Amino acid sequence: MDWSKLVKHVSDLALVDLQKGEVEPLIRDLEKIVRMINAVNELKISDDVEPLYTTFFGDVNLRDDVEVGEPTNIKDVCAVKERIEGGYIRSPRTL
């Protein structure tokens, strides 16, 4: 797998501009994550264990889904219209 292409693709999707020195640490992190996932996949789990779909087993008061009509245009509700780029709100750089 070409990790550098994957990191580039994900950073493009996330609209994150990575510098050259930032790619290698991300590749090392991704490789660690894949190794951990592979280790979990190799665990021998008995067939009599039912999958857990939720961690909540009590009563819960959920609201009913309600149709609200047409979606609101982001330009109508955003206070800083000049920060809207391509349908996204550009946030200030935090790093």
Domain extent listing, the chain: 3-47+61-88
Q: CA-to-CA distance for 81 and 73, rounded, in angstroms?
A: 11
Contact in structure between 30 and 6 (CB atoms under 8 Å):
yes
Model pTM score: 0.46
Q: Going residue by residue through the chain (95 aa), what tens digit of pLDDT does each one get?
A: 788 899 999 999 999 999 889 999 999 999 999 999 999 888 887 778 777 777 677 777 778 888 888 877 776 777 777 777 887 877 777 76
Q: Where are the alpha helices (DSSP H) in 14-84?
A: 20-41, 74-77
Residue type, 40: V
> In the beta sheet, which residues pair with residue 85?
88
